Amino acid sequence: MEKNKNNYAIIMAGGIGSRFWPASRSTYPKQFLDILGTGKTLMQQTYDRFSKAFLPENIFIVTNAAYIQLVKDQLPNMPFDRILGEPTAKNTAACIAYASAKIHKLNTHAACIVAPSDHLILDEAKFLDYVEQGLNYAHKNPSLVTLGIMPSRPDTGYGYIQYLENNEEENIHKVKTFTEKPTLEIAKTFIDSGDFLWNAGIFIWSVSSIKKAFKQNLPEQYDIFENAAQSFFTENEAETIRAFYEQCKSISIDYGIMEKAQNVYVIPSEFGWSDLGTWTSLYDISPKDENNNVVKGKHVFMYNVEGCLVNKSESLNGKIIALKSVKDLIIVDTPDVLLICDKSQEQEVKQIATDLKIKFNDKYT
């Protein structure tokens, strides 16, 4: 994939990653952690991936204003004016509207990919091939394109995209429906039907197409960032955005635009993807020992243990964890919190973090 001056990447990096609590905290969320043990954080891996196909000045990161310094520390060579700080979390529609309006001011001929900062992509070359296909299509057609993942199982943790067979171009299909996380029975029917994909939350479009979609479906947000655009790339930008963000409705791009728009297309894709949304998703993609255990950290001793994930903070390397005759547990040990949870109940981790935030403010979350 050649580096085209009209192609841009928007990396969304404002999430808290509460399902990865207690490793992920509001002050240091999972995109800034080396969750995979590769020596690079998820944010650094995502940025490196896009650096192979996009000009440095054409990569934008949208994050919470509180995380700007973390981004600068982890990506010291990134131009500072390409890091967009949100004064408050308003879900994905606002951050996409902000970045799209800013890119549009630079280049009205731009097309861009929008992607989360904390996903795993094993086959980067194949991923960039799909991205190139999507960008080429977006430059030529007034469309909103998403990359849908070919499902390998009836998973209830993902949203689903149903597509039509009457595609205009090879492997690019008109979207019929979006469905939020289904029950297991419904997920099974989706898989059996053969025309559903997992929704990866990765989007490709021209900035003119997404601006038009905002004008039609979220006109208030369209007006907000049109009015804010006069401050872009000036010393007044942060102050202006702080004032305008207060007016933004908190809504996802899926609810606000993708489920309403008529010009939505999907590319069925396979590139070794995981959203790394939960501890079990990390367990699933990690190398396992002869008893199907995954251990990240030193001084962990196990006796008759099966199917467990143990994640131990590096700062606790002088501490020993000993497990005896247990199975299918998630064990996460940090300096101030120890989590022990049955893998089948891991969806409750986010609720635990929420409860503790209410009880202790931000001390443990």
Q: What are the residue ranges spanned by the domains of the chain?
A: 7-274, 279-360
Residue 307's region, left for phi above 0, alpha for psi from -120 to 50, else beta, is left
Give the end-to-end CA distance of the chain in Å, rounded to a whole number: 41
Q: What's the pLDDT at 167?
A: 58
3-state DSSP call for residue 185?
A: helix
The model's pTM is 0.93
CB contact at 8 A, 331 and 310: yes
Determine the Cα–Cα distance for residues 205 and 199; give it in Å rounded to an integer.
16
Low-confidence ranges of the chain (pLDDT < 70): 166-169
> Residue 343: exposed, middle, or buried by beta-carbon count in 10 A (0-12, 13-18, 19+)?
middle
The topology under which CATH files domain 7-274 is Spore Coat Polysaccharide Biosynthesis Protein SpsA; Chain A (3.90.550)
**Closest among 16, 126, 117 to 59, alpha carbons compared:** 117
3-state DSSP call for residue 260?
A: coil
CB contact at 8 A, 129 and 1: yes
118-173 per-position pLDDT tens digit: 999 999 999 999 999 999 999 999 999 999 999 988 888 888 999 988 656 678 99
